[in-house]
Amino acid sequence: MTSLIRGLALGVCIWGWLMAPAFAASDAAGLFNTKCTGCHTFGKGIRVGPDLKRVTDRHTRAWLIAWIKSSSKLIASGDPIALALFHAFKDQRMPDHDLSDAQIAALLDFLAANGPEADEQLRLRDASTASAADVEWGRQLFYGESKLKSGDLACVACHSVSRGAAIGGRLADDLTNAYRRYHDKALDHVLKQPCLPREPLLPLARAEDRESLALRAFLRSIGGATR
């Protein structure tokens, strides 16, 4: 019985060890956003504290773990790096964080892999930020003057807009007011789906991110900006 209990306990420990890092890694972006961004940027300069880009190159992992857990203890110990940072930022110390080893490891891996920049690039860009060149490219994509990378049909094959060239398909809705009605998130989702069910499926999204932005920007220019 004792050996069985020990075996079960060991199994639980191994399972916990395997699962904890994966869970922590998936939450690394959330940890960065909730614990770090109030005082730090990533690649955008000093805020309250130092820029965290390449922080894992500037300091050893062991030092960073100790600093994140308790900067006050590291400062009190007389650590020269901790003291230099403390004085460089007007004797404002970083708050101590009650994070597990797995959470800190995931956060450091996220920073080392330039995760904040990748995470920012994945955020959907609003059509309101598009340039005039983006709008023109969107017009060309809509009318098929420029081809979608996926090779799928241009919007004009099925849709029309009320302004501009008097051409366009009649198989689906007029898209003049599409942006006004649906905005960026819903339109991006639709633009990335095949227009018609097909086998086999397209190997790529119908419109990639830059193409989606250009098409949304064109539709925004046609229907009038609402935000």
Range of the domain at 101: 2-122
Q: Do 22 and 63 fall into the same domain?
A: yes
Q: Based on the fold, state whether residues 50 and 87 are members of the same structural domain.
A: yes
3-37 confidence digits (pLDDT tens): 443 443 434 333 343 344 444 445 888 888 888 98
Please give the single-letter amino acid code of residue 179: Y
> How many structural domains compose the chain?
2
Q: Are residues 44 and 108 in the same domain?
A: yes
pTM exceeds 0.75: no
> Are residues 94 and 11 located together in one domain of the fold?
yes
The answer to whether residues 46 and 70 belong to one domain is yes
21 and 99 in one domain? yes
**Residues 154-201: pLDDT tens digits?**
999 888 887 644 454 566 788 999 999 989 989 988 898 877 765 556
CATH of the domain at 43: 1.10.760.10
Overall average pLDDT of the 145-155 stretch = 91
Domain boundary among 106, 122, 138: 122
Sign of the four-CA dihedral 153, 217, 140, 122: negative
Long-range (24+ apart) CB contacts under 8 A made by 110-117 are 110/25, 110/28, 110/29, 110/31, 110/32, 111/32, 111/42, 111/52, 111/55, 111/56, 112/56, 114/42, 114/53, 115/28, 115/29, 115/32, 116/29, 116/32, 116/42, 116/43, 116/52, 117/42, 117/43, 117/53
- φ/ψ of 195, rounded to 5, equals -65, -40
Helices 61-69 and 101-112: crossing angle in degrees, nearest 10, is: 130
Whether residue 18 sits in one domain with residue 104: yes
